[in-house]
């Protein structure tokens, strides 16, 4: 049974689509503060990538209320997902809606009451990524940024980026940065990310993504960082050291100093992986091809090329360089890749592609 929609209510159900891009950290988030959902133990500074996108299509439907069990459902790349991964996120969406519309979901600005209550809403999501999912290319960042924007827009209309970022963070920490384009930071303990500079700040900067595997990682980023915190003797040193690398990264971006950015990027990812090597059982995301590329880049730097790598929770290598060297990097490592290199500029934040149409 559905609630009848009063004439002033935001029409539900509705369909909405949003697009977001991966957030590539130069200074890494690795570890959560205890007690809160996805608040970072380390500050991170990141680039939103323009070339690869994840699109979320979201339909919102009304449940029957009362003691009906909620029926949130996520179908990702055609596969139904474990609802436990999404439960805290959708609960946070319902809380945000309840705060904004205590009397039911109504058209913003109309002041009416009587639409469906937040606790009666459930969410049905279809999402597809146009790049490998759960493989170390920040699909969780793009996915939850798109999801947060579309869930809020579908129910409450346009909302401030800060609110979308807070909500995205509940789904995946890195997602709070993907809400914004350009250069972003997410401070340790902060509820949301912020934009440091827009995507126009550094037109010559390029990131070359070198995919060496499309396989899903054996251990999610979340489980890996929790295991690291719980078992690695290097974890405390990592958390203590991380703020200085975040500062160095911000400084490099403010001066558009590629060499400084690249050197900071290498220190951050290698120190992050050092904590993982020290975990029990140890975590080793790298493939032989990852190390071949790292060695190859060392050689290119010796020849004077401006190329520095970073890696995330997966075997892929991403190269920070400039527009005039990006193609050369892509060609150099072609034989090691499972799919063509992706050359990316700095990209935009989350966008709503199709607003609610009201026709259901």
CA 181 to chain centre: 12
Which of the 8 DSSP states describes residue 304?
A: T
Instruction: Go through the chain and tell me how many residues it has.
Output: 360
Residue linked to tokens 């250069």: 183
Which one, 81 or 351, has the nearer CB to ligand ADP? 81
Taking CB under 6 A as the rule, does residue 261 contact ligand ADP? no
Residues in 195-214 that interact with ligand ADP by CB under 6 A: none
How many binding residues for ligand ADP (CB under 6 A)? 24
- Choose which of 179, 242, 265, 313 interacts with ligand DP6 (CB under 6 A): 313
Closest residue by Cα to residue 276 from 136, 76, 138, 146:
136
Q: Which sign, positive or negative, has the C-alpha torsion 189, 122, 226, 271?
A: negative
DSSP H helices in 14-138: 83-100
Which one, 165 or 221, has the nearer CB to ligand DP6? 221
CB of 162 to ligand ADP, least distance (A): 21
Closest residue by Cα to residue 18 from 53, 62, 61:
53
| CA–CA dist 229, 82 (Å, integer) | 25
Taking CB under 5 A as the rule, does residue 268 contact Co ion? no
- Could you tell which of Co ion, ligand DP6, ligand ADP, none binds residue 56, using a CB distance below 5 to 8 A set by kind? ligand ADP
Taking CB under 6 A as the rule, does residue 115 contact ligand DP6? no
Among left, alpha and beta (phi > 0; psi -120 to 50; other), residue 63 is beta
- As given in the structure block, the two tokens for residue 20 are 């977001």
Taking CB under 6 A as the rule, does residue 153 contact ligand DP6? no
Taking CB under 5 A as the rule, does residue 140 contact Co ion? yes
The residues binding ligand ADP (CB under 6 A) are 54, 56, 74, 76, 81, 85, 127, 129, 133-141, 143, 147, 172, 220-221, 313-314
The residues binding ligand DP6 (CB under 6 A) are 25, 28-30, 38, 44, 138, 140, 172-174, 221-222, 312-313
């Amino acid at each position: 049974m559905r609630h009848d929609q009063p004439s002033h209510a935001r029409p539900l159900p509705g369909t909405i689509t949003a697009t977001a891009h991966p957030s590539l950290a130069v200074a890494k988030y690795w570890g959560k503060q205890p007690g809160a959902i996805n608040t970072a133990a380390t500050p991170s500074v990141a680039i939103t990538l323009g070339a690869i996108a994840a699109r979320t299509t979201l339909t919102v439907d009304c449940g029957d209320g009362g003691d009906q069990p909620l029926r949130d459902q996520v179908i990702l790349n055609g596969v139904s997902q474990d609802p436990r991964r999404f439960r805290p996120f959708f609960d946070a969406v319902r809380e945000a809606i309840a705060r904004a519309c205590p009397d039911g979901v109504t058209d913003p600005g109309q002041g009416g009451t009587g639409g469906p209550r937040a606790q009666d809403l459930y969410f049905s999501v279809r999402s597809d990524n146009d790049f490998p999912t759960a493989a170390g290319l920040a699909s969780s960042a793009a996915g939850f940024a798109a999801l947060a924007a579309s869930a809020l827009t579908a129910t409450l209309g346009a909302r401030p980026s800060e609110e979308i970022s807070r909500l995205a963070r509940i789904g995946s920490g890195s997602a709070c940065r993907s809400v914004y384009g350009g250069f972003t930071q997410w401070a340790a303990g902060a509820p949301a990310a912020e934009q440091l500079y827009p995507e126009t700040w550094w037109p010559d900067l390029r990131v070359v993504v070198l995919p060496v595997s499309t396989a899903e990682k054996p251990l999610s980023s979340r489980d890996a960082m929790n295991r690291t915190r719980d078992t690695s003797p290097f974890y405390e040193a990592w958390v203590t050291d991380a703020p200085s690398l975040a500062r160095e990264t911000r400084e490099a971006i403010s001066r558009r100093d590629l060499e400084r950015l690249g050197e900071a990027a290498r220190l951050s990812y290698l120190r992050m992986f050092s904590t993982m090597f020290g975990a029990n059982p140890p975590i080793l995301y790298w493939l032989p091809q990852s190390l071949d590329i790292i060695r190859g880049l060392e050689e290119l730097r010796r020849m004077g090329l401006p190329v520095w790598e970073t890696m995330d929770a997966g075997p892929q290598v991403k190269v920070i360089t400039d527009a005039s060297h990006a193609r050369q990097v892509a060609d150099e490592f072609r034989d090691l890749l499972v799919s063509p290199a992706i050359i990316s500029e700095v990209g935009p934040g989350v966008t709503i592609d199709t607003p609610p149409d009201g026709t259901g």
